Amino acid sequence: MSALSGLILAFCVTQKFDEFAAGEFFLFLAILGMLSTFFRIGLDNVILKNVGINNSKSNVSNIYAVSTLAVFTFYSVCLALVYITKQLGIAQEFFEYKYSFFLIKVLPFYSLNIISSFLFQAQQKTFLSLLALNIVQNLSVSIYLVLATKVDIENLILQYQILAILIFIAINVFIYYRNGFPNFQIKFEAKLLLYTTLSFWVIALANQSTIWFGQIYAAFYVDSGQIAFLSTAQRLSSVISLMLMAVNMVIAPKIAYFFKKGAISELKSLVQTSTTFLFVFVTFPVILITLWADSIMTLFGKQYSEASELLKIFCFAQLINVMTGPVGFILGMSGNERTLRNVVIIANIINIVVGVLFIPTFGVYGAALATATGMIFQNIMLVYFVYRKFSFLCLPFFKLEKLS
């Protein structure tokens, strides 16, 4: 649903604006996604793991209060450093970006909304998790675009910012109304949350870099219209991973719980069922999208037919992503954060190297190639390390016991 709401938003934006204006908005979202990962400081996955292990019995109010305090403290320190660099005349390129102050104002609220989504996911409240993630925000902005008669990109970004703040307020009211206010155990919860946050922070940053680096780096070499083509193709391909996202939302806390209880046989059965189901479910849509990529892209406008080859590249990477199932969660929820971190970092380095080599020459095609290469390498290596550590292959139709 999250990816689908993003696709709906992309469709509404491309129908309302030309490709150059749409590209500006998509670039804003890419930068916001990268920076929000930085400001979440790894708390999202730490919460998912610890609350999942405790089978949703953690003190929700304490955990959310610590997260809010940590994010706003870190944000304030970074904001002070930004102000100092501005006064010293350093990093002027950031301040020359015309939407930089929109980014500054929305970042802590947007980041905490995503953290709350992971908190709800850990409690197995999937619907609330999806709403907090960005479904409400994407769909509300889409409705605004449909109803508005006159709107420009700056106004659209302002509405996006306001919605993030309103959703943040609603989440706070809901959490503290349902769970009460934080108590004096908050120091214990802070220690629990912050102990393993660094590894998850690095993992999240590297993952987001793999996803968004191509768009951001390509913006230095191509116009905003090309960025719109690239972003739309990438968002459309993410529909392929919809079922993987849905499955991960449900089974991630269970993976942490099974490892805590030592129920490896139940884990293997869960992985076998989910990976086989995912592969069967997505293969046919991938074939259809690949065959009719040109026609599908023209739904966003005739000029978007240029992005059909980009869509094919992203679809292949997403197919590999879905085939390998919840490999990242298996390592991350089982105490193997370091292995997961190292693989993700190496994949991101490969992504950056390929991007730096090919984007200046091939533009958005180089960006798509870089993103796809990073994703495929990461998933294949994660399958290998799951097999090495737990003696089963996280692939559809494969026998789970270690091969002789």
pLDDT in tens, the chain (404 residues): 566 777 788 888 888 888 888 888 888 888 888 888 888 888 887 777 666 555 544 577 878 888 888 889 989 998 888 778 767 666 555 556 677 778 888 899 999 998 888 888 777 777 777 777 777 888 888 888 888 878 888 888 888 889 999 999 999 998 888 888 776 454 444 555 555 677 778 888 888 888 888 988 998 899 888 998 998 898 888 877 766 666 766 676 777 777 777 777 777 777 777 777 777 778 888 888 888 989 888 988 888 888 999 999 998 998 888 888 788 888 877 778 788 889 999 999 999 999 999 999 999 999 999 999 999 999 999 999 988 888 777 777 655 554 44
Give backbone dihedrals phi and psi of 368, rounded to 5 degrees, phi first: -65, -40
Reported as a single tens digit per residue, the pLDDT across 161-187 is 899 999 999 999 988 888 887 764 544
pLDDT value, residue 347 = 94
Q: What's the rounded Cα separation, in Å, for the pair 261 and 121? A: 20
pLDDT value, residue 260 = 73
Number of Cβ within a 10 Å radius of residue 102: 17
The two tokens of residue 334 are 């089982």
Fill in the amino acid letter for 106.
V
Fill in the amino acid letter for 36.
S
Burial of 367 (0-12, 13-18, 19+ CB in 10 A): buried
The reported pTM is 0.74
DSSP conformation class of 42: T
pLDDT value, residue 3 = 62
Are 330 and 271 in contact by the 8 Å Cβ rule? The answer is yes
| CB within 8 Å of 104: residues ≥ 6 apart | 79, 82
Question: b/e per residue, 245-267, with b = 16+ CB within 10 A?
Answer: bbbbbebbbbbbbbbbeeeeeeb
Are 156 and 25 in contact by the 8 Å Cβ rule? The answer is yes
pLDDT value, residue 184 = 47
pLDDT value, residue 403 = 41
Question: SS3 for 227?
Answer: helix
Q: What's the rounded Cα separation, in Å, for the pair 46 and 85? A: 31
Reported as a single tens digit per residue, the pLDDT across 78-119 is 888 877 876 766 655 555 667 777 888 889 999 999 888 888
